[in-house]
Amino acid sequence: MDLRERCLRCCQPVLVCFKKTRSAEDTRQAVRRKDIEVIVNPHARQTGPGVSLRPLAVEKTDVYIALYDYTARTEEDLSFSAGDKLEVLDKSAGDWWYAKALTGLRVARRGYIPANYVAPVESIDAEPWYFAETKRLDAEKLLLAEGNQHGAFLIRNCESQKGELSLSVLDSRTVKHYKLRRTDSGHYYVSKTKPFETIKELVAHYSQQEAGLCVRLGEPCKKIEAPQTHGLSYNTVDQWEINRTSIRLLRKLGAGQFGEVYEGLWNETTAVAVKTLKPGSMDPKDFLREAQIMKKLRHPKLIQLYAVCTVGEPIYIITELMSNGSLLEYLQKDNGVKLRIADQIETAAQVAAGMAFLELQNYIHRDLAARNVLVGENNICKVADFGLARVFMMENENVYEAKEGTKFPVKWTAPEAINDNKFTIKSDIWSFGILLYEIMTFGQMPYPTMSNYQVVQRVPTGYRMPCPPHCPKVLYEIMSDCWKQNEQERPTFETLQWKLEDFFDMDVSSYDDANRY
């Protein structure tokens, strides 16, 4: 795409008005040399003289298409709607780019945009049906969600084979999956007899006719939620100590042992969760040190830490807001009762995915439990409060003492962590086993008939909880693996993640087509 001025009214990349510095003779010579091209401006009366000049030796520009709507959160941001075209002028701020709107309601306006809300124009990422990093399970959930009709579809990266694509289609109330295979020359096909040079052509073809698919492709799957932006705005990514006056607390969401949690509004524009810490519960310096690491841990299954207020008391921790609160409450309430076994396993798989990321980063959670997992729309779960326990523990050792009556999460904690203060990713695995128990019992207290003291006494001698009622045996086996006495024999989160995700693949019944899987 060329770098050239665009008409302010029609936004077509056609015109450069006479520059004042250019004399008529200069212009004539430039036209003769074919350095510039004279174009009639359809909106000439608004923009200047009747002809305009377009430089031919032009730089490449970055034109992007918006994948989601975005409403400006600060005066320096630019609002846009899905489908708008934007020219990116400066990418140096990292996750937030400085851009100019080329189409839409705010055409020609400039401001910061979240980089993960846009994709290069004409790229596959810009296609409304391309859901790149969507797992098979998530694809099914998205397609089965309200608003999608028979034939709704999406194309995603194949989980099992890197570089390959899969097509997921809604056929009445079931979702069918096809691998998009490639010929030796790189053409894509569902049926070998009909290869296509591009995925776009393949989609166009199957939108016209079924041609062997279970259903003709209809509308692209609806995108339910825009992704989280990285940070609240371009300037909180680095300067994330924010002024507490920019936060308005709206309503209390709950309380933990270290403080209260509120729904809040940042800059009068953006919904956030605000954790307020009881004065004295931690040293701001320790917290800030830990928080520096925490804010770098970004993953779709981890709650994002947006900003902090550590100047003055109480300390505020600003995170993304999750509409359905903690997983524990969610499991215990009506919602939990409505959960099917597939939802329960999916919940566990999501937690394992977030934890597998922490495992990869050599980061230990230390307080993994259903109360520290939060639930958003459509059963989306994210792990919260990672690393916070360490900060509390450093400053407030007594709080985590393994005594009856204290709030030490004894029932979630591995024996070696209780007895020798040995917290590792393997003690997190132990806690994950307990969390799995919570999920399978809809939020029942672990070791329901035992006190903390009894748990501390009996678990090191080999006592383990029995299989909960109605819990599939394979899931109980996973729990039991997490509770191996020798921590080295416990699985990794990576293994847990694929085991739980594969659960769904196992019971898919119909494979009536070579490409369907």
CA distances, 480 to each of 98, 153, 319, 476 (Å)? 51, 39, 33, 6
Using the minimum distance from each CB to ligand ATP, give the nearer residue, 190 or 261: 261
Taking residue 334's Cβ as centre, other Cβ atoms within 10 Å add up to 7
Question: Across 158-246, where does the E strand assignment appear?
Answer: 165-171, 174-182, 188-189
Using the minimum distance from each CB to ligand ATP, give the nearer residue, 224 or 341: 224
Q: Is 258 in the site for ligand ATP (CB under 6 A)?
A: yes
Q: Is 327 in the site for ligand ATP (CB under 6 A)?
A: no
Q: Is 319 in the site for ligand ATP (CB under 6 A)?
A: yes
CA dihedral for 142, 148, 154, 158, sign (positive or negative): positive
Using the minimum distance from each CB to ligand ATP, give the nearer residue, 202 or 317: 317
Using the minimum distance from each CB to ligand ATP, give the nearer residue, 257 or 292: 257
Using the minimum distance from each CB to ligand ATP, give the nearer residue, 148 or 276: 276
**What binding mask, one character per residue, do residues 72-111 give for ligand ATP by CB under 6 A, x or -?**
----------------------------------------
Could you list the active site residues?
Answer: 367
Q: Which of 317, 322, 439, 459 binds ligand ATP (CB under 6 A)?
A: 322
Q: Which of 160, 257, 361, 480 binds ligand ATP (CB under 6 A)?
A: 257
Q: Is 374 in the site for ligand ATP (CB under 6 A)?
A: yes
Q: Is 452 in the site for ligand ATP (CB under 6 A)?
A: no
Q: Which of 385, 416, 438, 501 binds ligand ATP (CB under 6 A)?
A: 385
C-alpha span between 506 and 167 (Å, rounded): 19
Cα–Cα–Cα angle for 340, 298, 370, rounded to 5 degrees: 35
Q: Is 253 in the site for ligand ATP (CB under 6 A)?
A: yes
457-482 burial: b if 16+ Cβ within 10 Å, else e = eebeeeeebebbeebeeebbebbebb
Asked if 453 contacts 391 with a C-beta cutoff of 8 angstroms, the reply is no
In the complex, least distance from residue 239 CB atom to ligand ATP, rounded to whole angstroms: 22
Residues 6+ apart with CB under 8 A from 363: 293, 297, 386, 387
In the complex, least distance from residue 326 CB atom to ligand ATP, rounded to whole angstroms: 3
C-alpha span between 201 and 190 (Å, rounded): 12
Q: Is 279 in the site for ligand ATP (CB under 6 A)?
A: no
Q: Is 261 in the site for ligand ATP (CB under 6 A)?
A: yes
SS3 track for 53-120: EEECCCCECEEEEECCCECCCCCCECCECCCCEEEEEECCCCCEEEEEECCCCCCCCEEEEEHHHEEE
Q: Is 290 in the site for ligand ATP (CB under 6 A)?
A: no
In the complex, least distance from residue 402 CB atom to ligand ATP, rounded to whole angstroms: 16
Asked if 56 contacts 35 with a C-beta cutoff of 8 angstroms, the reply is yes
C-alpha span between 384 and 292 (Å, rounded): 16
In the complex, least distance from residue 41 CB atom to ligand ATP, rounded to whole angstroms: 52
CA dihedral for 49, 52, 53, 59, sign (positive or negative): positive
Using the minimum distance from each CB to ligand ATP, give the nearer residue, 330 or 493: 330
Q: Is 310 in the site for ligand ATP (CB under 6 A)?
A: no
DSSP 408-470: --GGGS-HHHHHH----HHHHHHHHHHHHHHHHTTSPPSSTT--HHHHHHHGGGT--PPPPTT
Taking residue 449's Cβ as centre, other Cβ atoms within 10 Å add up to 6
In the complex, least distance from residue 464 CB atom to ligand ATP, rounded to whole angstroms: 24
Q: Which of 7, 273, 309, 317 binds ligand ATP (CB under 6 A)?
A: 273
Q: Which of 254, 280, 312, 448 binds ligand ATP (CB under 6 A)?
A: 254
In the complex, least distance from residue 90 CB atom to ligand ATP, rounded to whole angstroms: 32
C-alpha span between 298 and 228 (Å, rounded): 10
C-alpha span between 119 and 131 (Å, rounded): 12
Residue closest to ligand ATP (Cβ): 256
Q: Which of 372, 413, 441, 515 binds ligand ATP (CB under 6 A)?
A: 372
Cα–Cα–Cα angle for 415, 416, 422, rounded to 5 degrees: 140
C-alpha span between 170 and 177 (Å, rounded): 9
Size of the site for ligand ATP (CB under 6 A): 21
In the complex, least distance from residue 333 CB atom to ligand ATP, rounded to whole angstroms: 11
- Considering only residues 390 to 409 of the shown chain, the ones binding ligand ATP according to CB under 6 A are none
Q: Which of 104, 114, 264, 325 binds ligand ATP (CB under 6 A)?
A: 325
Q: Which of 321, 331, 351, 364 binds ligand ATP (CB under 6 A)?
A: 321
Using the minimum distance from each CB to ligand ATP, give the nearer residue, 180 or 455: 455
Residues that bind ligand ATP (CB under 6 A): 253-258, 261, 273, 275, 303, 319, 321-322, 325-326, 329, 371-372, 374, 384-385
